[in-house]
């Protein structure tokens, strides 16, 4: 198993002043020292110059191995940091894939110029699913619940949820449109559902406690 630390030892170290080469330049002129294919359209390639190329379909990003230091991610609304030394002893591609995904996400957001599907637009699509056989009061309650659950998600999570469940797009279609890998889309869907489910469980517990309290007081009548 080639580790990231070992990989750094057999590649060059780009100077900070060096201009980052394009994906096309690396593919035509540099020497490949390591490659990892995740699926048919997604792969990470490292070149002798010390640059990595992460490609998902037609989208690609290039970065230096030595720019990949600690990694920050959000878990349960808290920011978690994984130190650089941890990744040094992991398979070489682990940290690079994380870096590539983050960069493609940022690039996509810049291109969209914050024109992601708005919160209100997503909410309206959810409301289409409300059973019209419910009485008006029940419909209002359900719509408010949906709106509250959507408010727990990030803009990107709401976009993926909308495209997958309501526009009926496949994970591959979503990954192509957003410029991220299909596994990343799957993970995003899972995280969004877990976040909404956890909130609903918490609300159900609170409701049960309140009902029990009211039940106890009813004996005093």
What is the b/e burial string over 56-76, where b = at least 16 CB atoms within 10 angstroms of the residue's CB?
Answer: bbebbbbbbbeebeebeeeee
Does 126 lie in the same domain as 97?
A: no
In a domain, 132, yes or no: yes
In a domain, 180, yes or no: yes
Measured distance CA(1)–CA(32) in Å, rounded: 17
In a domain, 154, yes or no: yes
Between 48 and 161, where is the model more confident? 48
pLDDT at 105 over 60: yes
pLDDT, one tens digit per residue, over 59-77 is 899 999 998 988 887 666 6
In a domain, 137, yes or no: yes
Q: What is the pLDDT of residue 104?
A: 85
Does 123 lie in the same domain as 108?
A: no
Please tell me whether the overall predicted TM-score, pTM, comes out greater than 0.75 for this model: no
Domain end among 77, 94, 112: 112
CB atoms inside a 10 Å sphere around CB 24: 11
In a domain, 221, yes or no: no
**What is the tally of structural domains in the chain?**
2
Does 187 lie in the same domain as 126?
A: yes
Does 72 lie in the same domain as 14?
A: yes
Does 70 lie in the same domain as 160?
A: no
Q: What is the pLDDT of residue 91?
A: 93
Domain end among 78, 112, 146: 112
Does 108 lie in the same domain as 123?
A: no
Does 100 lie in the same domain as 11?
A: yes
Picking from 165, 6, 218, the residue whose alpha carbon sits closest to that of residue 91 is 6
* Segment 97-110 mean pLDDT: 82
Does 72 lie in the same domain as 155?
A: no
Domain end among 83, 112, 141: 112
CATH code, domain carrying 144: 1.10.10.10
In a domain, 100, yes or no: yes
Does 11 lie in the same domain as 27?
A: yes
Does 104 lie in the same domain as 25?
A: yes
Residue ranges making up the domain that contains 207: 119-211
3-state secondary structure the chain: CCEHHHHHHCCCCCCCCCCCCCHHHHHHHCCEEEEEEEECCEEEEEECCCEEEEEECCEEEEEEHHHCCCEEEEECCEEEEECHHHHHCCECHHHHHHHHHHHHHHHHHHHHCCCCCCHHHHHHHHHCCCCCCCCHHHHHHHHHHHHHHHCCCCHHHHHHHHHHHCCCCCHHHHHHHHCCCHHHHHHHHHHHHHHHHHHHHHHHHHHHHHHHHHHHHHCCC
pLDDT, one tens digit per residue, over 12-35 is 999 877 889 999 999 999 999 999
CA angle 184, 185, 191 (to 5 degrees): 90
């Amino acid at each position: 198993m080639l580790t990231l630390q070992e990989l750094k030892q057999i590649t060059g170290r780009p100077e900070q002043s060096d201009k980052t080469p394009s994906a096309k330049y690396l593919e035509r002129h540099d020497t490949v020292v390591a490659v990892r294919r995740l699926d048919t359209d997604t792969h990470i390639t490292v070149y002798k110059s010390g640059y990595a190329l992460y490609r998902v379909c037609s989208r690609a990003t290039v970065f230096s191995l030595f720019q990949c230091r600690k990694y920050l991610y959000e878990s349960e609304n808290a920011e978690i940091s994984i130190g650089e030394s941890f990744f040094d002893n992991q398979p070489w591609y682990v940290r690079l894939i994380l870096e590539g995904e983050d960069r493609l996400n940022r690039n996509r957001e810049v291109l969209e110029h914050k024109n992601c599907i708005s919160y209100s637009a997503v909410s309206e699509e959810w409301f289409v699913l409300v059973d019209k056989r419910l009485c008006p009061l029940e419909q209002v309650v359900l719509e408010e619940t949906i709106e509250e659950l959507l408010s727990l998600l990030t803009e990107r999570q709401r976009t993926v949820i909308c495209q997958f469940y309501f526009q009926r797009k496949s994970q591959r279609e979503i990954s192509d449109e957003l410029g991220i890998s299909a596994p990343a889309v799957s993970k995003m869907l899972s995280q969004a559902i877990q976040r909404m489910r956890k909130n609903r469980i918490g609300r159900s517990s609170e409701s049960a406690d309140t009902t029990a309290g009211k039940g106890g007081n009813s004996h005093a009548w």
